[in-house]
Amino acid sequence: MSFNFDTTYSKLNPKFFSYITLKNIENPQFLLLNNKLLNELNINEPEEELIQILSGNKLLEKPIAQRYAGHQFGYLNNLGDGRAALLGEHVINNKRVDIQLKGSGITPYSRGGDGLLTLNSALREYLYSIALTNLNIKSSQSLAVVQTNNQVIREEIEQGAILTRVMDSHIRVGTFEFVSYSSSKEELKEFTNYVIKRHFNELENKKDKYLQFFEKVMNEQIDMIINWIRVGFVHGVMNTDNMSITGETFDYGPCAFMNSYNLNTKFSRVDTQGRYSFGNQKNILLWNLERFAETLIPIIDEEPKEAIKLLEKSLSKFEDLYEEKFNSMMKAKLGIKEEINCEKIIKKFQNWMQKNNPDYTNTFIELEHPGTFDDEEFQTNTFQNLRQELKEIGLDSTIMKKVNPHIIPRNYLVEEAIDEYVNKQDLTKFNQLLEVLENPYEINKKHKNYQQPPKKEYDLKYTTHCNT
């Protein structure tokens, strides 16, 4: 089979998107092709044909750019796909996914941007989306990276690329912000019905379906953040336009994994206040959900006051729900059975990590397999005592090994792998890293080097940027 497009988004209200033309790419080349995903999607186009489609040269239908808004670092802006094109919605085995090109040229929403993506960013997004997927975190998928000879002007002139991104959908909190603020109540209702039908169809016939929809989204997004916390992921730019309604992690711009545990960890150069730091992701999620709730006011109840009351009631469930999921995740990381009440020791353990800044990933491996690492933090009496205390109630390997990765994409390894391609056209390191990231929960002595954290100074100086 091949592409099986049945695009529903372009049948919606025309003000929610624009038809676009794509930049023609001379001599496009596949740099990466995700064969596993191609198989899952049942796409077996010959490669000469596929490269034309995934570079945007051959169109199967007229591509669109989706319109949305978004609170960026707290401020509402009108946005939209400024450098992305939805090629179509591919349907396979009753599942529908968006197939989108990123970096395929300007659109009506480019706002002065060039519509392009650097090869460096395409490689990063490809790698992180695979890493998170293998860590069992719902994520956008990357189907291919096509190398182009577009020259992309950033701090320096860089080579361009087009990434093919696959997601259940690209509908985000920011989409609701745009729809709600630009439309009538009926139009908002129609759009929300579309989203419910597409993603939460079990709610279609429910009397209070819009409120339940809000709570479902809240639930999905809490799961996403809890998973980030579980593996030490810092997304870096949790603007409302980057928060998917289905709870898929996406837009791997300035993201990075934390090495040394510290709630204040942030890498993004533009995030001067630490708004999107590791430990603030929960607070920002709630803030974003409040913005999302506001968009639904007109359809929750005829009376805005009543609608606000109902949404506030839903939002008031956030704290307990988050805590419950957080504790359950931490219990699993510490190998403690779900039914055991152990919030005190979780807090104590977190405090120890915050004070001593051990390598987050390796801490849990060391708990399960003492003696694996010789970091000084693991030799202290405090750690040994904590381990003993945990041993009495937990440290059950069968629970721990499913949630504590042995391998994460260490920032310095990601940079080395990408640099080696960008500077020397050598993809060996990148492919090796991808291979190691295939089975992050597996113990493999051969991968010992990939478990090595950098020196603490490295992370303190390491910055990522949005200018991608």
Give residues in contact with ligand AMP (CB under 6 A). Answer: 79-83, 109-110, 113-116, 237, 241-242, 251, 253, 466
What is the number of the residue whose Cβ is closest to Mg ion?
251
Q: Distance between CA atoms of 212 and 206, rounded to whole angstroms?
A: 8
Q: Which does 116 bind (CB under 5 to 8 A by kind): Mg ion, ligand AMP, none?
A: ligand AMP
Q: Which does 113 bind (CB under 5 to 8 A by kind): ligand AMP, Mg ion, none?
A: ligand AMP
Q: Supply the minimum distance, in Å, between the C-beta of residue 161 and ligand AMP.
A: 12
The tokens describing 441, both together, are 């929960």
Q: Does 468 bind Mg ion (CB under 5 A)?
A: no
Q: Which does 170 bind (CB under 5 to 8 A by kind): ligand AMP, Mg ion, none?
A: none
Residue 9 DSSP one-character state: G
Q: Considering the candidates 81, 98, 168, 241, report the single residue annotated as catalytic.
A: 241
DSSP, collapsed to helix, strand or coil, labels residue 296 as helix
Q: 244: which strand partners?
A: 172
Q: 158: which strand partners?
A: 152
Q: Does 288 bind Mg ion (CB under 5 A)?
A: no
Helices of type H across 200-303: 209-231, 281-300
Q: Which does 79 bind (CB under 5 to 8 A by kind): ligand AMP, Mg ion, none?
A: ligand AMP
Q: Supply the minimum distance, in Å, between the C-beta of residue 241 and ligand AMP.
A: 6
Q: Does 251 bind Mg ion (CB under 5 A)?
A: yes
In the residue annotation, 241 being an active-site residue is answered as yes
Q: Supply the minimum distance, in Å, between the C-beta of residue 168 and ligand AMP.
A: 18
Closer CB to ligand AMP, residue 24 or residue 379? 24
Q: Supply the minimum distance, in Å, between the C-beta of residue 149 and ligand AMP.
A: 17
Q: Supply the minimum distance, in Å, between the C-beta of residue 110 and ligand AMP.
A: 4
Q: Give pairs for 424-427: CB < 8 Å, separation 24+.
A: 427/31
Closer CB to Mg ion, residue 150 or residue 249? 249
Q: Which does 253 bind (CB under 5 to 8 A by kind): Mg ion, ligand AMP, none?
A: ligand AMP
Residue selected from 34, 129, 227, 242 as contacting Mg ion according to rule CB under 5 A: 242
Report which residue type is found at 1. Answer: M
The tokens describing 228, both together, are 């980030």
The b-or-e profile of 83-95 (16+ CB within 10 A means b, else e) is: bbbbbbbbbeeee
**Burial degree of 415 (CB within 10 A; 0-12, 13-18, 19+):** middle
Q: Supply the minimum distance, in Å, between the C-beta of residue 82 and Mg ion.
A: 9
Closer CB to ligand AMP, residue 116 or residue 167? 116
DSSP for 73-139 reads: TTEEEE---SSEEEEEEEEETTEEEEEEEESS---TT-TT----EEHHHHHHHHHHHHHHHHTT--B
Closer CB to ligand AMP, residue 115 or residue 279? 115
- The residue with tokens 């990408």 is 418
The tokens describing 343, both together, are 């919030």
List of residues contacting Mg ion (CB under 5 A): 242, 251
The residues carrying an active-site annotation are 241
